[in-house]
Structure formats: C-alpha cells, structure tokens
Amino acid sequence: MSATHLLPGALEALRAVRAAGLKLALGSASRNAATVLQRLGIADSFDHVVDAGRVTHGKPHPETFLTAAARLGVLPAACLGVEDAVAGVRAIKAAGMRALGVGDARVLVEADAVIPDLRAFRLEG
C-alpha cells in the first residue's frame, strides 16, 4: 500500500483543508487506521486518529466522531464529518455535526450534502 492507492481527489482535499488552516481528524472502524495512513503517506495530514481501538462503540454510534471533536478541541456543532457509508453518516448526525456524504446520493440520504467522489470536494465560504 502506498500513495498510489489514494482515492482520486483525496490528496487535493486534504491539502485544501490544511491550507485553510482547519483541524482534521480521522474516525475509522478499523484498528489499523494509523498504519494505513502511514503507508499512504498522509499521516501528517491528520491532527488525530480515532480508530476502533480507541472507542467502546462503533458507528453508527456517535462516539467516534464525538471523540474526534473533543481531541481537536472543537464543538461538534462546528464540525463537518465526511463519510461514504450510511452508518458513518448516521454517527455524524447523532454527534450533532453536519454530514457530507461521498458516493451515491440515493443511498446517503441522511447526509446534509452529497458529492459523487473526493474530486468534487470544495471548501467554500
């Protein structure tokens, strides 16, 4: 696994978030998220990683996202969660955050907005 395995638009989205001076956390159901980020070459893009080994309840429970917000020192209402799965979107909404779905809008109906893929990610306003 290397940077060549990043989804199209992922690196550009991470760079845009960092260039805007925003804090960034990864919430993952995986127990090896930190290792994956290292291998992909993007570990330094994240301020915190909250993986399955750091929470008691997995998605769709909001604990992952609430923990991420707490570690960033940001109120959940000031956060945007980005997810590609229904359970993740539900967890984001249950945490009191706005949710950006990545994928099929017909599936991610509970998200506040949906983009087809990370190439469509834009920071505005």
Tens-place pLDDT, residues 7-43: 999 999 999 999 999 999 999 999 999 999 999 999 9
What percent of the chain has pLDDT above 90?
A: 89
The model's pTM is 0.93
Confidence bin at 125 (pLDDT 50/70/90) = low
Q: Is residue 125 part of a domain?
A: no
**pLDDT for residue 2 is more than 90:** no
User: CB neighbours of 33 closer than 8 A, spacing ≥ 6?
Assistant: 26, 49, 51
Q: Is residue 2 part of a domain?
A: no
Q: Is residue 85 part of a domain?
A: yes
Q: Is residue 105 part of a domain?
A: yes
Tens-place pLDDT, residues 63-91: 999 999 999 999 999 999 999 999 999 99
Which residues span the domain enclosing 83?
7-120
Q: Is residue 99 part of a domain?
A: yes
Confidence bin at 110 (pLDDT 50/70/90) = very high
Q: Alpha-carbon torsion 60, 29, 12, 97, what sign? A: positive
- CATH of residue 45's domain is 3.40.50.1000
Domain count, the chain: 1
Q: Is residue 82 part of a domain?
A: yes
